[in-house]
């Protein structure tokens, strides 16, 4: 019989089938918490410190005090991988406000809940990487920076879920959200890039997009490869008429987009800059200097 995955919850490990939290946890009741998605490649946890740092920035924004240090959190993640004997894994690190009552007052939550799940994930593999995915602009606008901004990687992803539902109904792979001013913001769980006149462009985080760790690394790789890479506002017109478009994200990695709202992007095939960045990123995630070994 195959051994069940072990899930970390508040200092103890539980088999997947027994890993539970209280129905009074504010993460469940109100989406009151934050998370990180992290990848391990061949025993190397890619950019683990950077993910943990972003987690603490998110909790600082929502005034949630994590009861362990960043160094301790790193060790919790590594130990969860060891417990499950996983070398290649998708890790979900979750911190909720904790157990409270049915009111929304966070003062009623006396202790945060910490959860670490180490499993596998398969997004946009195989043919999607080779041929590209289809996407659409959603009617769902990204929450602005003075609201539940996606700069905070919170547990409230209803904004993204609504856009994903629309993509599912429309028969495309992914949705792209605009900001409140109509500029391109990001995908439902990915950052987005375009290539225009040989330059790599991506929307700035002040649109409400998540400051992506993968996106930041792709920007560095683009510059290292000799391409100009810049953050600036992008219009839907520029998106449709780009030479290349691609998503980036921890789970997605680097994925070409071949069609948006039935408009074929250039030749309809992954472009040379996208393919170059896919190759360079695949090398980067296995560089021992880019993460922490299990």
Cite the active site residues: 153
Q: Please state, in angstroms and rounded to a whole number, the distance separating the CA atoms of residues 113 and 134.
A: 37
CB-based contacts of 170, cutoff 8 Å, min separation 6: 136
Q: Please state, in angstroms and rounded to a whole number, the distance separating the CA atoms of residues 84 and 4.
A: 9
User: Running DSSP on this structure, what letter comes out for residue 112?
Assistant: -
Alpha carbon distances (Å) from 222 to 58, 94, 215, 244: 27, 31, 10, 14
Residue from 218, 220, 222 nearest 190 by CA: 218
Q: At what angle do helices 213-224 and 272-284 cross, to 10 degrees?
A: 110
Tokens standing for residue 134: 């289809």
User: Which region holds residue 42: left if phi is over 0, alpha if psi is between -120 and 50, else beta?
Assistant: left
Instruction: Give the SS3 label for residue 253.
Output: strand
Q: Please state, in angstroms and rounded to a whole number, the distance separating the CA atoms of residues 183 and 233.
A: 6
Alpha carbon distances (Å) from 42 to 72, 88, 260: 22, 5, 34
- State the pairing for strand pair 12-15/113-119: unpaired
SS (H, E, C) 124-141: CCCHHHHHCEEEEECCCC
Q: C-alpha 222: how far from its chain's center?
A: 20
Alpha carbon distances (Å) from 274 to 97, 178, 281: 40, 22, 10
């Amino acid at each position: 019989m195959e051994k069940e995955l072990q899930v970390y919850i508040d200092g103890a490990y539980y088999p997947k089938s027994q890993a539970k939290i209280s129905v009074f946890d504010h993460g469940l009741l109100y989406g009151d918490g934050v998370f990180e998605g992290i990848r391990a490649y061949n025993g190397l946890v890619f950019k683990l410190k950077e993910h943990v740092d972003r987690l603490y920035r998110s909790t600082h924004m929502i005034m949630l005090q994590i009861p362990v240090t960043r160094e301790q959190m790193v060790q919790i993640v590594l130990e969860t991988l060891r417990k499950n004997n996983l070398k290649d894994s998708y890790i979900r690190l979750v911190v909720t406000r904790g157990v409270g009552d049915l009111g929304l007052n966070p003062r009623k939550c006396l202790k945060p809940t910490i959860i670490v799940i180490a499993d596998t994930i398969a997004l946009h593999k195989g043919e999607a990487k080779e041929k590209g995915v289809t996407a659409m602009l959603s009617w769902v606008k990204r929450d602005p920076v003075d609201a539940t901004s996606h700069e905070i990687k919170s547990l409230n992803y209803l904004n993204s879920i609504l856009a994903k539902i629309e993509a599912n109904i429309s028969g495309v792979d992914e949705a792209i959200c605009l900001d409140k001013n109509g500029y391109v913001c990001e995908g439902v769980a990915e950052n987005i890039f375009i290539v225009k006149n040989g330059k790599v462009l991506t929307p700035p985080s002040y649109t409400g997009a998540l400051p992506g760790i993968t996106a930041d690394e792709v920007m560095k790789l683009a510059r290292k490869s000799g391409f100009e890479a810049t953050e600036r506002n992008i219009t839907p017109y520029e998106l449709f008429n780009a030479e290349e478009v691609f998503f980036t994200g921890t789970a997605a990695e680097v994925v070409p987009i071949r069609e948006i709202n039935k408009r074929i992007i250039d030749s309809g095939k992954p472009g040379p800059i996208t393919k170059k960045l896919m190759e360079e990123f695949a090398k980067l995630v296995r560089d021992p200097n880019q993460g922490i070994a299990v």
